Amino acid sequence: MNENGIKEILLNGECVTLECKRAKSEVPKSVWETYSAFANTIGGVILLGIEENRKESDIKKRFKIIGVDDAQKIVNDFWNTINSDKVNENILCSNDVDSVEIDGVQIVYIHVPQADWRIKPIYLNGNVYKGTYRRNHEGDYHCTERQVRAMIRDSFEDGNDSRLLEHYDMRDIDLDSLHRYRTLFKFRNEGHVWNEIDDISFLRNLGGCTIDRESGKETLTVAGLMMFGTGLAVRERFANFRMDYINMCNLIGDERYSDRLTYDGRWENNLFQFFSIVLPRISFDLPRPFRMVGMQRDDDTPQHKAVREAFTNSIIHCDLMMESGVLRIEKHDDRLVFRNPGLLRLPIEQIFEGGVSYARNPKIQNMLRMVGYGENLGSGFPLILDAWKQAGWDTPVLNNKFELDMVELVLPLSAIPEKASNSTVEITTSAENDDGEKSREKSREKSREKIIKIIRDNPTVTQLELSNMLRISTKAIEKHIKNLRKDGIIRRVGPDKGGHWEVCK
C-alpha cells in the first residue's frame, strides 16, 4: 500500500473495512478488538497515526495524518504481541504490516484478511465467548454466545448435518416423503443397486441414518430427519427452525400476499417436501422461449436451472441449528429472494469466481445432487450469473447480512427483451415442418411413457412433482394427464387430495 492508495481509502471514510487510530507512540489496546472483528467479518485495514474528527461532516477534512513517533518500534511490538497468546491465531503474512510515509510523516498500515472458516472464531485473551468480536459499520462489537457457537459449528469440516440424533429413528421418518424421493431417485438413477434395497438400508446409504457405535442402535442423522422427517419430529428437535414461502405478486389493495406456504398441518414440514412444493411455484412462469436441442424442444432453460441452483444453495448452506432460523423464499413481481440462516463460509469474491464449494450440509447436498439438483464443484453461483446475463436481466445480488446472521440472494426479474420473451418464428419448408412435427410427436410420446412409469412406481405422485421431475411445464403435465385418462391408460382412485393414480393398461 502506497501514499496514494491510503489517501484514496480515507476519502471513503471509516466503514466496515477501515479503522483509523491515533497511536502516537504505541500499539493501541483497541487494535486487537479490531483485528478480531475484521478477521471474523470480511477483513479490513487498520491505519495507525491518523486522527479522526467524527463531528466533521466534510469527509475530506475528517481525517488528519499526524504520523507515529517510531514506526519500526510499533511494527515490532505488533508482531511480538500477535505471536503471543494475545490472540488464538495469527492469520497475517509479513507483507500485511508495513510503515508508509505520507506528507513527511510515518504511519503504520495493517491489512487483516477474512479468516478461513475452519479457524474461526478469532478471539482474544484465551476466552472464546468474551474475546470474540465482529465488525458493524464503523465499530467493533462483542459477539453473542449464539454467534460464537455458530462460528464454532461452521469450523467442522464434515459439516453440520452428519450429527447423530439420539432417540430418533425410522419411526420419525415420513415414509411418503422418503418414497417420493425414492421414485425421483429411481427415475434419475435407473439400474442403481440402491433401488432394490429396503428403506432403512437406502437411508443409511444416503447418510440419513447410521448405527451409533456406542449404543449399537440405529439413529437418524440431522440430514435424515430434516430431509424426510415427520413434521412433528422435525418441530420437536428443531423448534428453532422454520420454512416459509410467500408470493407477493399481483397484490391488490392491502393484500399482504397472494400465496403462502408455512407449516399449517397439511404437509410434513421437512426440507424435501418444502423443496418439492415450492420449486414449481417459483419457476413455473419463468419464460420458456422456443429452443431446440437436436430434434427435441428443450423447455429447461438456463434460468430455470439457475433458480433450482439458488434454491438448492439456500438449503445446503442453511445453519439448521441457529436460534430463530428461517429458510424463506419470496416471489415478487420483479424479483425472487432466497434467504437462509447462517453467514457465507467463503469470501463473496471467491463465490463469484467459483471453483470451491463448502456446504454446511454436505449430506443433504448429496441427497439433492443424486436426484439432479445442485452443483458440488463450486460452479453453482457462476451458473446463476451466466443464466441471468443470457436473459439480459440485472445482475443477481448476494448479501452477507451480519446483523441478522443471514444470507440473502436476490434474483432480479427485469423486463425481458422482446426477442427472448416471444417464441422464435422460423420460415421452413413443408418437409422441415413435417420433420419438426414428427420430432414433437416423438417427444410427447416419450413424456407420456415417463409419466406412466412414474405413476406405476409412485401412485400418489402429484402433477407438480411430475412437472418437477420431467422439467416440463405444469400446463404440459395437465394436458398429458387429461389425454392419458381420456385414452383409458390411467385413472384416478379417490379424491384429488388423498387419492392415488392407477395404471389401467
Tens-digit pLDDT profile for residues 74-106: 999 999 999 999 999 999 999 999 999 998 999
Would residue 393 count as lying in a domain? Answer: yes
Residue 474's CATH number: 1.10.10.10
Region 283-297 average pLDDT: 67
Query: In this predicted model, what pLDDT tens digit does every residue of 388-433 receive, in sequence order?
Result: 999 999 999 999 998 889 999 999 997 444 433 333 333 333 444 4
Band (41; pLDDT cuts 50, 70, 90):
very high
> Could you tell me if residue 161 is inside a domain?
no
Sign of the torsion formed by the C-alpha atoms of 9, 15, 16 and 21: positive
Q: Do 415 and 452 sit in the same domain of this protein?
A: no
pLDDT range class, residue 129, cuts 50, 70, 90: very high
Q: Which residue in this structure is represented by grid cell 393484500?
A: 255
* More reliable by pLDDT, 285 or 438: 285
Contact 140, 33 (CB under 8 A): yes
* CATH label of the domain that carries residue 34: 3.30.950.30
Give the range of the structural domain holding residue 274, as residue numbers without chain letter.
170-421
The Cα–Cα gap between 192 and 300 comes to 25
Q: Examine the fold and report which residue of 106, 130, 154 is the final residue of a domain before the chain moves on.
A: 154
Note whether 411 and 396 are within 8 A (CB).
yes
pLDDT for residue 296: 55
Do residues 150 and 175 both lie within one domain?
no
187 with 85, same domain: the answer is no
For the cut 80, the answer to whether the pLDDT of residue 231 exceeds it is yes
Asked if residue 486 and residue 409 are part of one domain, the reply reads no
Same domain, yes or no, for 176 and 109? no
Spacing of C-alpha 462 from chain mean position: 27
Q: Is the pTM of this model over 0.85?
A: no
Q: Does residue 250 sit in the same domain as residue 359? A: yes
- Residue-level pLDDT at 491: 86
Domain for residue 164, yes or no? no
Q: Is residue 180 part of a domain?
A: yes
Region 110-116: mean pLDDT is: 96
DSSP β-bridge partners for residue 337: 330, 410
Domain boundary pick from 394, 421, 448: 421
| 411 and 307 Cβ atoms separated by less than 8 Å | yes
Count of structural domains within the chain: 3
- Is residue 357 exposed (0-12), middle (13-18) or buried (19+ Cβ within 10 Å)? buried
What confidence tier does 447 reach under pLDDT thresholds 50, 70, 90?
confident
Rounded alpha-carbon distances, angstroms, from residue 70 to 24, 236, 412, 415: 8, 61, 52, 59
Write down the pLDDT at residue 407: 95
- What pLDDT score does 423 carry? 34
135 alpha carbon, distance to own chain's centre: 23
